[in-house]
C-alpha cells in the first residue's frame, strides 16, 4: 500500500512538473540588460542586473520581478561581462535578495571605464556565496533547464551543436566590421542557449557584429531558435545578419532604452529575417520613429511612459515548443504555436 502511494505521488509530481512552463522576464533597466529565467523546476537564473546608482532603482526592479515570479532566492546570477550597464551593483542586490551562486567568465582583463574597480567590488562577494567560472561548452546546472554556454571570455564553441553546422550563406553577403579595442569587454560576454523541451532561446548579451562572424562563419554552429534576445540592446554595431537572420527566430526580444539601441538598421535586419514573426521591445526607440518600431502592444514602455513605471515583457514556453509573450503594461498576449 505504501509503495503504491509513493508511486502515485511521484507520478503526480512528475506530471505537475511537465505542465510547468519555462518563464523569461525581460526586466526594464532603462537600456541596460537584465533577463530573469525561471525553469520548470522553479530554479532561477538572472542574466545581468542593469545599472548601479539611481538610488538602487534597478536592484529594486529586479526584486519586484523576482517576487512576481514567486521566487525566494536567485539560484544563479550570471554576470555576462563587466560593463556598467550589465554588472550593476551586485553587493546591493545581494543585500536585498538572496543569491546562491555567482557566474562569470573569469577575472577582468580590460582596463578603463572603471572596470577594475567594479570587479573588485563584485569579487569581494565570492567568499559569501558559491562562485562558478564558465567557458564555452560548459553548462550551468539549473534543474529542469538546459543552459549551454556558447560564448565566454572572447571565445566561442568550437564544435557545432547536434543538428547544426550547415554552411551559412549570409557570410558571403555580409560585410565584416573591424573589431574596436574599446569593445573588448562587450565581446568577452557570456552568451547562453536556453533549451526547455522543444523550445530554444539564444542570448549573447553584448556580443558584437565582428564576433558574430567569428561564431557563425563559415558554418552555423547553433542552428535555429524560437526566440532571440537581441544583442547589445539592438545597437547596429552588434546585430549582424550572419547571426540575427541565420537563427530563423520567430520572435526577437529587445532590451533597448528610449535613446539607447533600437537602431533602424537593427530593425531592418530583424524584420527581414527568415521566419521572424514579431519584434518585442522594452522601450519605444526614438531613433527608430514610427517606421522602425512595432505597434504599441509589442512595446512594454511606449512613447511617453513615465520612467518609474518600468513594465517588463514575459515569455512562457511549454515543453512542446508552444510559447506566449505578454506585455505586462496592458496584458496583451500573443501565442506562438509549436512549429
pLDDT of residue 109: 84
What does the pLDDT average to over 50-68? 97
Where b means 16+ CB within 10 Å and e means fewer, 269-283 reads bbeebeebebbbbbb
The CA distance from 85 to 138, in Å, is: 25
Q: With beta carbons less than 8 A apart as the criterion, state whether 27 and 60 touch.
A: no
To the nearest whole percent, how much of the chain has pLDDT over 70? 94
What does the pLDDT average to over 161-187? 91
Using one digit for the tens of pLDDT, what is the confidence trace for 10-48?
A: 443 444 444 599 999 999 999 999 999 999 999 999 999
The CA distance from 261 to 315, in Å, is: 21
Domain ranges of the chain: 23-336
Q: What pTM, to 2 d.p., does this model score?
A: 0.93
Of the pLDDT bands very low, low, confident and very high (cuts 50, 70, 90), residue 183 is confident
What residues are paired with 26 via a beta bridge? Answer: 35, 313
The CA distance from 86 to 54, in Å, is: 14
Res. 288: pLDDT tops 90 = yes
- In angstroms and rounded to an integer, the radius of gyration of the C-alpha atoms of the chain is 19
What residues are paired with 327 via a beta bridge? Answer: 313, 332
Burial class (CB in 10 A: 0-12, 13-18, 19+), 56: middle
**Which residue, among 261, 212, 209, 256, has the nearest Cα to 237 in the 3D structure?**
209
Using one digit for the tens of pLDDT, what is the confidence trace for 144-163?
A: 999 999 999 999 999 999 99
The CA distance from 148 to 138, in Å, is: 6
Res. 9: pLDDT tops 80 = no
Q: With beta carbons less than 8 A apart as the criterion, state whether 102 and 79 touch.
A: yes
The CA distance from 164 to 26, in Å, is: 27
pLDDT of residue 19: 54
Using one digit for the tens of pLDDT, what is the confidence trace for 210-260?
A: 999 999 999 999 999 999 999 999 998 889 999 999 999 999 999 999 999
Res. 304: pLDDT tops 50 = yes
Using one digit for the tens of pLDDT, what is the confidence trace for 69-108?
A: 999 999 999 999 999 999 999 999 999 999 999 999 999 9
Fold for 23-336, please state it.
Answer: Metallo-beta-lactamase; Chain A (3.60.15)
The CA distance from 130 to 101, in Å, is: 4
Amino acid at each position: 500500500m505504501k509503495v503504491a502511494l509513493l508511486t502515485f505521488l511521484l507520478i503526480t509530481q512528475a506530471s505537475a512538473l511537465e505542465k510547468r512552463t519555462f518563464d523569461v522576464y525581460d526586466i526594464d533597466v532603462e537600456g541596460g540588460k537584465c533577463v530573469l529565467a525561471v525553469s520548470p523546476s522553479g530554479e532561477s537564473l538572472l542574466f545581468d542586473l542593469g545599472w548601479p546608482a539611481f538610488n538602487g532603482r534597478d536592484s529594486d526592479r529586479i526584486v519586484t520581478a523576482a517576487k512576481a515570479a514567486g521566487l525566494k532566492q536567485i539560484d544563479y546570477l550570471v554576470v555576462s561581462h563587466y560593463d556598467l550597464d550589465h554588472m550593476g551593483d551586485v553587493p546591493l542586490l545581494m543585500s536585498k535578495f538572496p543569491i546562491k551562486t555567482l557566474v562569470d567568465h573569469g577575472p577582468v582583463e580590460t582596463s578603463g571605464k572603471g572596470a577594475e574597480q567594479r570587479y573588485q567590488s563584485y569579487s569581494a562577494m565570492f567568499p559569501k556565496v558559491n562562485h562558478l567560472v564558465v567557458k564555452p561548452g560548459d553548462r550551468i546546472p539549473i534543474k529542469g533547464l538546459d543552459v549551454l554556454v556558447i560564448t565566454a571570455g572572447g571565445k566561442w564553441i568550437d564544435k557545432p551543436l547536434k543538428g547544426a553546422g550547415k554552411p551559412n550563406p549570409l557570410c558571403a553577403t555580409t560585410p565584416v566590421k573591424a573589431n574596436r579595442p574599446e569593445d573588448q569587454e562587450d565581446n568577452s560576454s557570456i552568451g547562453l542557449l536556453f533549451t526547455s523541451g522543444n523550445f530554444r532561446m539564444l542570448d549573447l548579451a553584448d556580443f558584437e557584429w565582428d564576433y558574430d562572424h567569428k561564431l557563425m562563419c563559415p558554418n552555423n554552429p547553433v542552428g535555429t531558435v524560437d526566440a532571440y534576445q537581441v544583442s547589445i540592446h539592438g545597437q547596429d554595431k552588434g546585430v549582424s545578419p550572419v547571426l540575427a537572420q541565420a537563427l530563423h527566430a520567430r520572435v526577437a526580444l529587445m532590451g533597448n532604452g528610449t535613446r539607447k539601441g533600437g537602431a533602424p538598421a537593427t530593425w531592418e535586419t530583424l524584420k527581414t529575417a527568415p521566419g521572424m514573426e514579431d519584434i518585442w521591445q522594452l522601450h519605444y526607440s526614438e531613433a527608430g520613429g514610427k517606421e522602425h518600431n512595432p505597434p504599441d502592444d509589442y512595446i512594454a514602455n511606449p512613447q511617453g511612459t513615465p520612467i518609474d513605471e518600468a513594465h517588463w515583457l514575459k515569455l512562457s514556453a511549454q515543453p512542446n515548443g508552444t510559447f506566449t509573450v505578454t506585455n505586462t503594461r496592458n496584458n496583451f498576449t500573443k501565442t506562438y504555436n509549436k512549429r
